[in-house]
Homo-oligomer: A and B are copies of this chain.
Amino acid sequence: MKETISQEFKKVQDYICQELEALDGLGKFQEDLWQREEGGGGRTRIINHGELLEKGGVNFSEVFGPVSDLMRQQLGLDGKEFYATGVSIVLHPKNPHVPIMHMNIRYFEMDNGTYWFGGGIDMTPHYIDFQLAQDFHKSLAQVCDNYDASFYKKFKIWADDYFFIPHRNETRGVGGIFYDHLKADDNNSKHDLLNFALDLGRLFPKLYAHQAQDKRNLPFSEKQLQWRNIRRGRYVEFNLVYDRGTKFGLKTAGRIESILMSLPENASWFYDFSPEENSEEQNTLNHLRKGVDWIGIKK
């Protein structure tokens, strides 16, 4: 079945790239094929200086081989041989009114027969728009509900906990969903879980299109660009300090450029920056908290 999964993941990558190119209207994805010495490889696709997207990556990979000591240690893996395939996306828009968005869907299998799915989608608005945050979470909840009534609630909390920057005591954005070690149960077969991942993949460009449509042409000031870059700085902090995939990739000397495609073209750090009272920036910061009920929030 892993061949089917990786084929389907490739198709989802193709679909997402197509849709994002159509949405952008100018930028085109450049593809780099790469191989992994120990087994497998990937298709890294990058869009640069589009009309909407300043920098974005939509990566597919399928890697396998012996479990290294480091993987045993860091990932707690038991068997001798592993297989992993997935699609990873990060989009950094030019316009500060449009959010950063991330998605990952992945499948893992060991030679001893165990397997699991993992994934997630989360959104990092530079400026929070309550209506759009609600729309985002509603769409995720709808897809979750098609598979298990408990998924959204569980995975939303998981995202709050995962996409969190402890040293700032702030979330990366308005969260979304995150899940890991998901296996077949009474509700969902392995095939259903694959479909769940694929549904999320196919949802992604729609989510982004909806977030971008009314915002992409809004004018913005130098000050708003600066704020965008400060938010991007926090994104860099999260990815380099906490993100498991990034940390693992750096340690195992994966393909560095494919891993660090998640970093923005520009990011800023200003000493002890704090936004003006009652500003849009302050309002955004105030809501970078765990446990916000984005679907039920009063606007």
- Chain A residues close to B by CB (< 8 Å): 32, 46, 48, 55, 57, 166-168, 229, 233, 236-237, 240-241, 247, 250-251, 253, 256-257, 260-261, 263-272
Q: Which of B48, B240, B261, B271 contacts A48 (CB 8 A)?
A: B271
In contact, A241 and B250 (Cβ under 8 angstroms): yes
In contact, A268 and B268 (Cβ under 8 angstroms): no
In contact, A263 and B256 (Cβ under 8 angstroms): no
> Which residues of the other chain, B, contact A250 by a CB distance below 8 angstroms?
166-167, 241
Assuming the A-B contacts A266-B267, A267-B267, A268-B265, are A168 and B256 also in contact, with contact meaning beta carbons closer than 8 angstroms in the complex? yes
Assuming the A-B contacts A236-B236, A240-B237, are A271 and B257 also in contact, with contact meaning beta carbons closer than 8 angstroms in the complex? yes
Q: How far is the CA of A265 from the CA of B263 in the complex (A)?
A: 16
Tally of this chain's copies? 2
In contact, A46 and B271 (Cβ under 8 angstroms): yes
In the complex, what's the smallest C-beta–C-beta distance from A215 to chain B, in angstroms? 24
6 contacts between A and B (CB under 8 A): A32-B272, A46-B271, A48-B271, A55-B271, A57-B271, A267-B269
Task: Output the residue of A233, A237, A269, A270 with the most chain B CB within 10 A.
Answer: A269
In the complex, what's the smallest C-beta–C-beta distance from A69 to chain B, in angstroms? 16
> Which residues of the other chain, B, contact A267 by a CB distance below 8 angstroms?
236, 266-269
In the complex, what's the smallest C-beta–C-beta distance from A106 to chain B, in angstroms? 21
Assuming the A-B contacts A261-B271, A271-B48, A272-B257, are A266 and B236 also in contact, with contact meaning beta carbons closer than 8 angstroms in the complex? no
Q: How far is the CA of A271 from the CA of B54 in the complex (A)?
A: 12
